[in-house]
Structure formats: structure tokens, C-alpha cells
Structure 1
């Protein structure tokens, strides 16, 4: 009989590369305590809670519940949905392993390509990059990202997210941001934002919306918007500016 949780839990499983998140859930099942699960997973208590909250949001149902009383003063345990997610995750990993054994060529596929195939998002700007710098500052982390063509972007994320994703130099990621977060300009004017040069290759019909497609490098085209009063023609040089906080990172299997 199909599980009553199956449909919603599938959303959480589609994100199970979510590095530490499933690991934390498994450790919680064994430890019966979020603080102990965090310690065993090597993350902070705050990061452990963030992992649980994100998975619960994706599943659309609580995965963890508090336990009151006991010799330790209480703790936490998985709900029925949480236990089912653990089971489904194990079955999924087994299926992947069996598939790779049957088709060795699948394991040779670029990790970033596999991640792209499973990624569905409304964000129109998305492309692969490599983490080339990590700088911690005042509770946040500034991540430097370099594309295959050497374009450089920066993303600002929380320390907890960096910890959960086990962010490291050389890591392959997908970079994502909305088209509405991209300002197309004639010159670079704000040094505090991501600023990359490119060439206009497409314009919205009629040009009224100000939507432009900017070729930054072979394989990387950005969609953004220019001020309606600005005049851009095909082949014009332009600059794309994106706030660092608008850049989202998606992790892929390595």
C-alpha cells in the first residue's frame, strides 16, 4: 500500500544530496537528542535545527517531535513521517547503487551534470561553478564562485548553511538567481555587487519590459532587466549587476 506520506516526502528526497541533513536525521534517530545528533554529525545545534526545519518544510509535515520527561529531562524523536523518510532515503541510495553497477558509464557522468538534471526551479539564471574562496565575517560567509570561463561571482550565505553543506574549496555547485535580481547597465557602477561584463544577444519583443539576455561567456547567458529608459541594441557591451545576497547555491553529488 502506498504511503500516505509518499508524495510529500518525495520532495525532501529530491534534495537528499542535502549533504548533512539526512545524516543529522539518522543520527537523531539513534541519539534521541538534537544536541547529541549535532555533536555526532559535527555541526552546531543551530545548524542541526536548520537541517530539520528545511527537511520538514520540503516534506510538508513535521519529521521530529519533542519528548518530555525521562532521566535526561526529555529529548527528541522522529515522527512516523521522519522514520519513513529515513527508510525511503536508504531505499533510494540502494537503487542508485544498483543502477551504477548495471551501468558503469553512469558513474562517469560529470557530478554537476547529474545535479542539473535533478534540479527544478523558477530561477532563470542557473549555471555550474566551483567554490574558489570562503571568507567568514560577522555570522555570514562570503563564497567566491568561479565558472569554467573564469567569470567570478560571490554569494553571501549564513554560517549554518555553510556548515550544513560542508562547503569547501574546489566544491562543484550550481549558482542560481532570479532574473529580477539582475540589473543590466551600460557601465559598472556599484562595486559592492557582483559585476560581470557581457554582450547583449537578445531583447524582449518590443523592448518595453527592458528584459535582456547577456552572453557572459560560452555556456553562461544571464537574463536580467535594464532601465526602460536605457537603450540597448544587439551586440552592445553591457554589465550585469547582482547583489551577493540574491545568489543561491545548490549542492550536487561529487
Structure 2
């Protein structure tokens, strides 16, 4: 097991899901309608049962009948429930065939999901991809040290490239998140909270986080610009600076720069159980 792996949660939702759809736009909804017609004997009642309008149910059946080499649904107009409606032998055969194919389709999806969840790295990546947060920067790593003070707890997190990210959170937050050495976490940092330094001029800064890298992209806006810095280990970090700062610091793609931010600017997240 690698440093960044966590135990797989067997209760994870399916990562791969897909509707079975045949050529000509024949999808699961048609076969749900056919099954409901077989059950109720009425297009009107069948459409209501699967959440369709009466008109929509009729149009779907008419299209299916036109596409099929044999009529699938036989209708007799009349009566408050739309007359007598039944599946023809061809319709019953078609529904039974689709049901069998659908079962095989579900088994295939289950096998795919089992293969995905058997990989620790894939599961952790998928968890990262579905996470939503407003913070522009999301850096994943492993807690390597925990320093508890009277009020706050300081964490040192090693990123995948070996860089160290320092975060300070309250003791209550650390306890609620179950922070401990070896835990895989994500550090969230908003882009405006990051300062860029190109020349320290012999000075040392009090900010605990100083991540050096190379500028890979600059996106200019009306007032501010977003600067992307690639770290040596492969992570990237975005900073929001003014357009004037771009000129005064002579920021350009390919130039070195250091992202500087305080430990208190890092919000810590952990994977839900």
C-alpha cells in the first residue's frame, strides 16, 4: 500500500453507470412502458405509472410500432381508460429479450465497478474528482506530523512530489476530522490568499508555506490575473494577483516563482467514511 492510499469503503456508490439504449432511440423507458402496459392493459395507466403523459406514451408506442418489423402493441380505441391494450406475441418476446439483456448489462456494470473499487489509487482519485469546493487550489497529501498546542493544531502534509504543506487548524477541527499521522487529506487554499515572490532579496518570510515552482500559464483579466505555478512534484498552484503585479514582478511563462501563504490560509478536508 502506497503512502497516499486509504482503505477502500465497500459502501461506495457505483462509479460507472449507464442506461441500456438500443439503436433508433429505443431506451429503458420504452421497455418500462411496455411492461406497464402488460401489467395494466392501458396506455393511459401505463404512462402514469412510469411518469409520462398520455400523449407521450402514445407517441412512444407509435414510434416503436413503426420501427419494429412486427407490431409490438395492439390497441383498441374506446373507453375511459383508452380502450383495451395488450402486447402482441412480438411485443412480449421483445420485452423478454430486453429484460435478459438488461440483466446482463447490469452484471457487466457491477463487474466494472468491482474492478474499479479493487484499486486503492483509482478509488482515491475518483473521490477527489467528485469533491466540490470553491477554493481554486486543492492539494492532496499525507499527514506526516501533528503538533498540538493549547488552542490550535499544526499539521505538516507531504505532497506527492515531496513538498511540505503546513496547515494550522483548531483543536476542535482536528478532533472532528480525526487528524492523525498517516491520514490522507486535502489542503484547500483560495487563490487570492497566495502571494508570489520572485526575489526574496536576502529576506526571510514568516509565512510557513513557500512552494517554489515554474510559471506555466498566466490568464489576464480586466483587473486581476491568475498565475499558475507548476511545482516540481507535478502539482500546480494558482494565485490571483493584480495586472500591475504581473508587470512589476516581470512574471512570465517559464520563469521561476514561489507561492507564499500562511498556514492559517489552508483549509483541511478528509474523505467521508
TM-score interval for Structure 1 and Structure 2 normalised by the shorter chain: 0.5 to 0.7
CA distance in 2, matches of 1:241, 1:134: 21
Secondary structure of 1:112's counterpart equals helix
Matches within 5 A, 1:228-239: 228=246, 229-239=248-258
Matches within 5 A, 1:111-122: 111-122=123-134
| Cα 1:233/1:103, change in 2 over 3 Å | closer
From 260, 263, 268, the counterpart of 1:241:
260
Secondary structure of 2:224's counterpart equals coil
* TM-aligned CA deviation for residue 242 of structure 1: 1.1
From 226, 230, 246, the counterpart of 1:215:
230
Q: Pairwise CA RMSD of aligned residues?
A: 2.6
Which residue number corresponds to residue 185 of structure 1? Answer: 197
CA distance in 2, matches of 1:115, 1:173: 12
CA distance in 2, matches of 1:235, 1:162: 38
* TM-aligned CA deviation for residue 147 of structure 1: 0.6
Structure number with bigger Rg: 2
The 8 Å contact of residues 141 and 159 in structure 1, kept in 2 or not, is answered as: yes
Residue-by-residue CA offset, 1:5-30 (whole Å, 9 max, x unaligned): xxxxxxxxxxxx9xxxxxxxxxxxxx
CA distance in 2, matches of 1:251, 1:208: 35
Secondary structure of 1:204's counterpart equals strand
Matches within 5 A, 1:51-130: 103-107=113-117, 108-110=119-121, 111-130=123-142
Secondary structure of 2:179's counterpart equals coil
Unmatched tracts of structure 2, length 5 or more = 1-8, 10-108
The 8 Å contact of residues 112 and 128 in structure 1, kept in 2 or not, is answered as: no
Matches within 5 A, 1:167-182: 167-182=179-194
| Cα 1:141/1:100, change in 2 over 3 Å | farther
**1:200 is the counterpart of 2:238:** no
| Cα 1:143/1:103, change in 2 over 3 Å | same
| Cα 1:103/1:112, change in 2 over 3 Å | closer
**1:251 is the counterpart of 2:270:** yes
**1:149 is the counterpart of 2:161:** yes
Number of aligned residue pairs: give it. 157
| Cα 1:206/1:177, change in 2 over 3 Å | closer
When the two structures are superposed, what TM-score results if normalisation uses the length of structure 1? 0.55
Secondary structure of 1:122's counterpart equals coil
CA distance in 2, matches of 1:187, 1:138: 36
When the two structures are superposed, what TM-score results if normalisation uses the length of structure 2? 0.52
* TM-aligned CA deviation for residue 106 of structure 1: 3.1
| Cα 1:156/1:119, change in 2 over 3 Å | same
* TM-aligned CA deviation for residue 117 of structure 1: 2.5
**1:139 is the counterpart of 2:158:** no
Residue-by-residue CA offset, 1:190-217 (whole Å, 9 max, x unaligned): 1333111010111123796243110113
Unmatched tracts of structure 1, length 5 or more = 1-16, 18-98
Secondary structure of 2:212's counterpart equals strand
| Cα 1:126/1:206, change in 2 over 3 Å | closer
